Amino acid sequence: MTFQNTQPDKIDDERWDSALERRQVIERWLEIASPTKELAADFAAKLNCSVPTFYRWVKNFRKDHQTSSLVVGLNRGNKTKQRLHPDVEKIISDVIKNLYLTKERPIRARVVEEVELQCFKAKLSPPSKPTIYRRIADVPAFIATEHRYSKKKAKHLFEPHKGSATTATRPLEQAQIDHTPTDITLVDPNEREGIDRAWITSAVDLYSRACTGFYLSFGAPSSLSTALCLTQAVLPKEQLLREHKISGNWSMQGLPEKIFVDNGSDFHSAAFKRGCDQHGISLDYRPKGAPQFGAVIERFE
């Protein structure tokens, strides 16, 4: 058995662990009898990469089924060479591990600042911002979510879910709605102290996986934020795009036949139930303790 242009024992632990993560996902992909583009998008999301990149990794792995074929960022004899000093690479790796992959969830710019500071102290030339961003992007999505949020959330977002029986055969057959806190915080303009955190209420069509509407607000989620999200989901979006000078097309509109939600108190309110009844929308709830039934909306958020 030979490794073309790459010796496994010469690869640093971080890149090798990332390659093993890719191999596990790709091996599950190769076991699927009839893979689809939609499944490819899900698998690419697990590895935090684009669908074309995922297909390229699969192609590389098919050639020899060797983990080394999935190592990224190495010189494999082509025109691209590693230019960073090994000590700089270690600084980037350590900062990502000890700063970025923490529950404080700092933004990428904070990682860049810390890498530049550490390089200055070590009298090394700092890498460019895009280089650091690429190293952050190389962290598998499962690992990033596990360290920045929780292992439970990582499993929920990226592992296969047994018993997630929600399916759709046509657009607008079912919409999933949920609330999630954002990383946006309203601050006092003078004291710069945090006042409130923004929440986003999103509606996603189960069949197309397209976002049909959303509502961004400050304060806890309520039946009002759900109603305003649904209003946007149902109505045409042309005027909205013009008002905000957004180019492009957002064609999703119309009443869903069914709305699937969790067991939050706002979804059980009389106003929300009556609103659904008024427009002939069937209302369904996730089984308690089974978040996988809302996997589509959870992954979208």
- Residue 287: the pLDDT is 67
pLDDT digits (tens, 9 = 90+) for 125-156: 999 988 999 899 888 888 888 899 888 887 76
Domain-embedded: residue 154: no
- Listed range (32-36, 40-44, 80-84, 194-198) with the worst mean pLDDT: 80-84
Domain-embedded: residue 156: no
Domain-embedded: residue 165: no
pLDDT digits (tens, 9 = 90+) for 54-81: 999 999 888 878 888 888 876 554 444 4
CA–CA separation, 46 and 42 (whole Å): 6
Question: What residues contact residue 267 under an 8 Å CB cut-off, 6+ apart?
Answer: 177, 223, 226, 261, 285
Domain-embedded: residue 18: yes
Q: How many independent structural domains does the chain possess? A: 2
Report the DSSP beta bridge partners of residue 260: 176, 284
Six-digit token string for 94: 């350590």
| Residues 259 and 190 grouped into a single domain | yes
| Residues 225 and 125 grouped into a single domain | no
CATH number of domain containing 276: 3.30.420.10
| Residues 116 and 24 grouped into a single domain | yes
Domain-embedded: residue 3: no
Query: Model-level pTM greater than 0.85?
Result: no
The domain in which residue 271 lies consists of 175-300
As a whole number, mean pLDDT of residues 35-59 equals 88
| Residues 114 and 216 grouped into a single domain | no
| Residues 217 and 278 grouped into a single domain | yes
CA torsion, points 4, 5, 9, 10, in degrees to nearest 10? Answer: -170
